[in-house]
Amino acid sequence: MVAAGLEPVPDPSGLFIGDRRPGIPGSIVTPALEGHRPLLVEVQTLVASSQLPQPRRSCQGLDSGRLALLLAVLERRAGIRIQQLDVYANAVGGVKVVEPGADLAICLALASAVAGVPIPASMVACGEVGLGGEIRQVGRIERRVAEAARLGFSTAVVPRSAPDTDANIELLRVPSLAAAIELLGLH
C-alpha cells in the first residue's frame, strides 16, 4: 500500500523465491495455485532424530493432516524411514499451501532432508500423491510449469500423465513417489 492506495505486486512468484539458498537438503519449489494463478512457493523441510516416544510433527503454511498422510506414504510406499524422526515443514513467506498439487514437492523435500542430498535449484515439482504412492495429475499443470519456466527453472518433476507444454522446461514424468525419489537419487 502506498499513499495513493493499493499497488499491485508485479511478480508475486519472484517475491516468494527471491531469497532462496541453493544446495541445502530439504528444499524445493512448487508451482502452487492461488485461485487460478500459479504462484511459485519454496517448501522447506528439516528432520532430526527424536528422543521422544512420539516424534514431533510441525508445519507452517501446510495442512498438518495432509503432512501426516504424506509421511505415511513416504514410509510405506517409498521406503523412507521417517517414523522415528522429528519433522518440520514450512511453506516459505507466510504463504498457505493447502492444495494437493504441492504433495510431490513436500515428499521430495522430506526425502532430500532424510538423505541429506540437495535437490537441484533449477527444479520444481508438482503433483498429487495418492495413498498407493502414485503421482496424480493436478489442475492447470501447463500454466504452473509455464510460470516456473518464466522464472528460469529448467526442469519440472510431474505426473506421468502430464500433458506436453510449449514452455521451455524439461518435464520429468514419474508414475510413483518411489520412482521420483529414485530418479533424484534421494533413497
**1 falls within a domain:** no
Distance CA 66, CA 53 (A): 22
**151 falls within a domain:** yes
CA distances from 136 to 10, 62, 110, 131, 174 (A): 31, 19, 19, 11, 10
Hey, what's the cell of 84?
522415528
Alpha helices, DSSP H, located in the chain: 12-17, 64-78, 103-115, 141-150, 177-183
**9 falls within a domain:** no
The reported pLDDT for the residue numbered 150 is 96
Residue 15, CB-side half-sphere exposure with 13 Å CA sphere: 9
**79 falls within a domain:** yes
**41 falls within a domain:** yes
**168 falls within a domain:** yes
Q: Domain holding 173: CATH number?
A: 3.30.230.10
State pTM to two decimals: 0.92
The reported pLDDT for the residue numbered 1 is 55
Q: State pLDDT tens for residues 95-143.
A: 999 999 999 999 999 999 999 999 999 999 999 999 999 999 999 999 9
Which domain does 154 fall in, by range? 24-183
Hey, what's the cell of 21?
539458498
Q: State pLDDT tens for residues 132-181.
A: 999 999 999 999 999 999 999 999 999 999 999 999 999 999 999 999 99
Tell me the torsion sign for CA atoms 62, 162, 118, 69: positive
Q: State pLDDT tens for residues 35-92.
A: 889 999 999 999 999 999 999 999 999 999 999 999 999 999 999 999 999 999 999 9
**4 falls within a domain:** no
Could you give the number of structural domains in the chain?
Answer: 1
In the chain the beta strands, taken as DSSP E runs, fall at: 27-34, 37-49, 57-60, 85-91, 123-125, 128-129, 135-136, 155-159, 170-174
**33 falls within a domain:** yes
- Residue 86 contacts residue 47 (beta carbons within 8 Å): yes
